[in-house]
Amino acid sequence: MLKKRIIPCLDIKDGTTVKGINFEGLRNAGNPIELAKKYENEGADELVFLDITATIEERKTFVELVKNIAKELSIPFTVGGGISSVEDVRKLLEAGADKISINSSAVKDPKLISDLAKEFGSQCVVVAIDTKFVDGSDWVFVKGGREMTNLKTFDWAKKVEELGAGEILLTSMDGDGTKNGFDLRITKLISENVNIPVIASGGAGKTEDFENVFNQTKATGALAASIFHFGEIKINDLKSELKNKNINVR
């Protein structure tokens, strides 16, 4: 059985860490290199770095910043934002990323998923799915949550697995930054219907939220940002509490 992973996420805009609610109203959360070091020391299992405006601004992820963060880390490091080609991924892996995360570019060109899986191996390819419940269905959103697609979340999750993704990072836009708990319904639906690991994201506010997502869904990882950035929960404390509740964390 896969051990559960606790994964802090650094949302980067203009070289600094930011955090919003429902993908809006961003505020500064600190220096990404210092935060990365802090999380590794606190026992994070992995780190995710998302350059959240790279796609909208049509530019590439900050390769230099990736290099500087990678130097400080020994835990797996996933990088996303503005990635649209095999060449982009090669540069980021050379800069020290272990995995890459694609979202808008995968929707635009699904073949990119299989191209990357062939070139670098499925274990390197994370497909991020930003999902929102609209008019009775779950829909995929792109461009940092700004644009609704005509893809249903369930169908897209099945498709990305088929194309060779090694992992899905599933963010509930309805839960993002609210601290009301992970979206257990959509997380359960997706994690029970694909055979690749699913990381739950969006809505973590307290220890019980992690307990619920691990007990009530098949998510193998849980990602959070603001509760870690603003010191509301320390990762080592969270892991100790989860272990006490018999949850098999790393």
Coil, strand or helix at 148: strand
Largest CA distance in the chain: 46
Alpha carbon separation from 194 to 139, 166, 225 (Å, rounded): 17, 11, 25
Cα 224 to Cα 144: distance, rounded to the nearest angstrom: 17
Q: What is the pLDDT of residues 142-170, one digit of tens each?
A: 987 889 999 999 999 999 999 999 999 99
Residues carrying an active site annotation: 11, 130
Amino acid at residue number 59: R
Q: What pLDDT is attached to residue 175?
A: 85
pTM: 0.92
Residue type, 108: K
Rounded Cα distance between 49 and 182, Å, is 20
Identify the pLDDT of residue 105: 95
pLDDT mean across residues, the chain: 90
Q: What φ, ψ does residue 35 adopt, rounded to 5°?
A: -65, -40
Which residue did the predictor score with more confidence, 60 or 183?
Answer: 183
What pLDDT band is residue 184 in, cutting at 50, 70 and 90?
Answer: very high
pLDDT value at 20 more than 70 = no
Q: Residue 226's pLDDT is what?
A: 82
The pLDDT value given to residue 225: 86
